[in-house]
């Protein structure tokens, strides 16, 4: 699975402390490599085409696009109290 990041997601990641950022990016890569490994942390958002990956207190909002290959587009990375605003 290919991973792309929107500009807002990159900005969100830069605002997070380095240790936590590395953990979040690691989980994104782990999900892209083997989606079944993070299946219990991924949910489809109700009434939305997006999914969320739970990484501790942070939520990674992303979409999946299937054409020739599956592309995971990370849209936002936010603390859980701000993720669904």
Q: What is the pTM of this model?
A: 0.84
Region 3-21 average pLDDT: 92
* Host domain of residue 25: 2-79
Q: How far apart are CA 71 and CA 65, in angstroms?
A: 5
Higher pLDDT, 11 or 74: 11
Region 57-81 average pLDDT: 83
Q: How confident is the model at residue 38 (pLDDT cuts 50, 70, 90)?
A: confident
The CATH number assigned to the domain holding 46 equals 3.30.2310.20
Structural domain includes residue 27: yes
Structural domain includes residue 85: no
Structural domain includes residue 12: yes
Residue with tokens 């969320």: 52
- Indicate the burial class of 64 (C-beta count within 10 angstroms; 0-12, 13-18, 19 or more): middle
| Whole-number average pLDDT of the chain | 88
Q: How far apart are CA 50 and CA 65, in angstroms?
A: 10
Structural domain includes residue 28: yes
Confidence (pLDDT) at 85: 66
| Domain tally, the chain | 1
């Amino acid at each position: 699975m290919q991973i792309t990041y929107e500009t807002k997601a990159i900005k969100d990641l830069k605002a997070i402390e380095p240790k936590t950022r590395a953990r979040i990016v690691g989980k994104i890569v782990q999900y892209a490599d083997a989606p079944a490994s993070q299946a219990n942390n991924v949910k489809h958002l109700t009434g939305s085409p997006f999914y969320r990956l739970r990484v501790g207190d942070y939520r990674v909002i992303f979409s999946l696009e299937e054409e020739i290959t599956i592309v995971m587009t990370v849209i936002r990375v936010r603390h859980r109290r701000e993720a669904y605003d």
